[in-house]
Chain A
Amino acid sequence: MATLPQLIEDDIQQLDEALRELIASADATAALVIDKGGFLIAHQGDSCDFDLTTIAALSSGAFMANQTIAGLVNETNFNSTYQQGEKFSLFVINVDEHCMLVVIFKSQSGVGVVKYYAAAAVKRIASQLVVAEERAPGAGLDLSVLNTAETGQFFRKK
């Protein structure tokens, strides 16, 4: 199974910049890049009020469920989903094979403007992920510094 390319600081900075620009342009509250497996990769905006880890896991599950529904109605995919709330709304759009973009915005803002600027952000994020993908694999992080001998009691009972 293909996986997300390894991200270095420069990649994260670029993703953060794309998210910041999106938030400013669309007057959004928060924006997240998440992996389709449910991991949070990058986020910007006002995150204090939200449990972003859980939002990432649930958004990923919901979006992937929608992809399956798309197949059942003979669509290749539903490229984006929009959930409207009373205070906040959520817009999720596919980025590439591995990732998606989640935008949380005030419901009084129009979804049209969010869609418009999200499309530009998606292009920028996707192109940075291509850069990461094409980077020499040798640039990876050496995980041998992790010592599993210390993990025998990784999780302890109270």
Chain B
Amino acid sequence: MAIINQATKELQVKIVYYGPAMGGKTTNLVQVHDHVQTTQGNKGKLVSLATSSDRTLFFDFLPIEAMTIKGFKTKFQLYTVPGQVIYNTTRQLVLRGVDGIVFVADSQYEKMPENVESFQNLMENLSSLKQNLGEIPYVLQYNKRDLPNAAPIEYMDFLLNNRDVQVPSFSATAHKCEGVFETLNMITRMLLQKYINQSVPQYA
């Protein structure tokens, strides 16, 4: 969970990009890394623990220090998980201490079963950590909207955004950096709002 360090007035939060294999999670982080506007030294190195074929093996990690708000330094740690089904234990490890989730879905029609399975897997893994999506802010990103076989947004909402409370969803073409920052700004806003709404901070 978020670290609030009163001594240094720092707020550290962890955002995890989750979703099916080859959906564009790593591409999101690469685009943020390449295009984010920060003061010098506030953007860390993008670390990728990937296989030789550039598939995420453990996770990708990008630390960024965002602007200071009213005296608080806000440090964000962005992670991805490996999307392939066999790496479930790794996904559980990366989810530990998560504050906000971006679910990156692949818009191609034939990927819908994988999207749904991955979303189900997210809920199961959170449950194994005694957490649930009702407590953790999350947003949906429908990626690869530039492909000709992309399913309609309404259909993707029907499949993935059908819980009691609908969450913000964003169309994206991550490799062109479209929708990437909109998604990140929204999850940031949602998770900060969550902490503000807690009358007494519970985390250090």
Interface residues of A (CB under 8 A from B): 1, 3-9, 11-13, 35-41, 51, 53-54, 57-58, 61, 64-65, 68, 132, 137-138, 140-148, 150-158
Contact (Cβ within 8 A) A143 B69? no
Chain A neighbourhood of B192, CB < 8 A: 146, 148, 151
Which of A68, A152, A154 interacts with B93 by CB under 8 Å? A68
Knowing A38-B77, A146-B70, A154-B185, say if A140 contacts B200 (CB, 8 Å): yes
How many pairs of residues, A versus B, come closer than 8 Å at their CB atoms?
155
Contact (Cβ within 8 A) B47 A152? no
From A41, A54, A58, A147, name the one whose CB has the most chain B CB atoms within 10 angstroms. A54
Is B158 engaged at the interface, CB distance under 8 Å to the other chain?
A: no
CB distance from A70 to the nearest CB of B (A): 13
Chain B neighbourhood of A145, CB < 8 A: 70-72
| B1-24 interface bits toward A, Cβ cutoff 8 Å, 1 = contact, 0 = none | 101111110011010000000000
Which of A35, A61, A68, A144 interacts with B3 by CB under 8 Å? A35
Q: Please, could you name 22 A-B residue pairs with CB atoms under 8 Å apart, sorted by A?
A: A8-B6, A12-B5, A13-B7, A35-B3, A37-B96, A39-B14, A53-B63, A54-B44, A57-B47, A57-B79, A64-B96, A138-B200, A141-B201, A143-B201, A145-B72, A151-B188, A152-B189, A154-B66, A155-B66, A155-B181, A157-B36, A158-B36
CB distance from B185 to the nearest CB of A (A): 5
CB distance from A128 to the nearest CB of B (A): 12
Chain A neighbourhood of B98, CB < 8 A: 37
Residues facing A in B164-198 (CB within 8 A) are: 177, 181, 184-185, 188-189, 192-193, 195-196, 198
| Across the A-B interface, the 4 shortest Cβ-Cβ residue pairs | A37-B97, A6-B204, A12-B7, A3-B1
Contact (Cβ within 8 A) B97 A141? no
Q: A61-B93, A155-B64, A155-B66 are in contact. List 20 more A-B contacts (CB 8 A).
A: A3-B204, A4-B204, A7-B6, A7-B7, A12-B5, A12-B8, A54-B61, A61-B59, A65-B58, A68-B89, A132-B204, A141-B4, A143-B195, A148-B189, A151-B69, A151-B185, A154-B185, A156-B37, A157-B36, A157-B37
